[in-house]
Chains A and B, each alone.
Chain A
Amino acid sequence: DAGVTQSPTHLIKTRGQQVTLRCSPKSGHDTVSWYQQALGQGPQFIFQYYEEEERQRGNFPDRFSGHQFPNYSSELNVNALLLGDSALYLCASSPGQGATEAFFGQGTRLTVV
């Protein structure tokens, strides 16, 4: 049973560019959340998708957007990249909307230069 998988594992982008990160949830999971983990800090919630709609959003600007596909996989898009967007981006999945534990992927390390 595959867990949460994310791609790519590492990415280097230039300031001002756009980036798309991808996530496949654990089998049987339909709720996907994205987190940003800056170096030396805990993960910060970006947003959550369920039934292909954004259901919850953290304190992140509109440059951060996402999408969920019918097969429950998800994308995180970041436009107009800033140096401060450099971080580990984590995807988490879980079944349904009830409060439950999150299963995390290995993350995508984004470096903005």
Chain B
Amino acid sequence: AQSVSQHNHHVILSEAASLELGCNYSYGGTVNLFWYVQYPGQHLQLLLKYFSGDPLVKGIKGFEAEFIKSKFSFNLRKPSVQWSDTAEYFCAVNEDRNAGNMLTFGGGTRLMVKP
């Protein structure tokens, strides 16, 4: 069975600092990769996704992620964080192209941005 690891459980940054959140998955076959964000009191929302093509994916709110197949990684980055980026971030993987919205999630990274 596949698994997803997020290395940082809690991250605290000051505004304007750069962000990189790690995500590694265990499945060796073809995967689809996602980053979701959960703002306080809100539902999970999609930040960005990778299915195929350019391994550098740009998402909403200035976020981007890079798929490195050789490292089984899909790290999330943002050059300059804002206070409003305070949230919990989840990396997720879908290994089966016919499995619809069945996802395996990582444990999440709680980001706090200090104003």
| Interface residues in chain A, defined as those with a beta carbon under 8 Å from any beta carbon in chain B | 3-4, 31, 33, 35, 40-45, 48, 50, 55-56, 90, 92-94, 96-107
Contact = CB atoms under 8 A, between A and B. Distances in A.
Given A40-B108, A41-B108, 16 more contacts: A33-B101, A42-B105, A42-B108, A43-B90, A56-B99, A56-B102, A90-B44, A92-B101, A98-B100, A99-B94, A100-B100, A101-B46, A101-B49, A103-B46, A104-B43, A107-B43
A44 B105 contact: yes
Interface residues of B, number: 28
A45 B104 contact: yes
B34 interface: yes
Contacts, number: 79
B44 A94 contact: no
Interface of B: 4, 6, 32, 34, 36, 42-46, 49, 51, 90, 92, 94, 96-108
Nearest to A101: B46
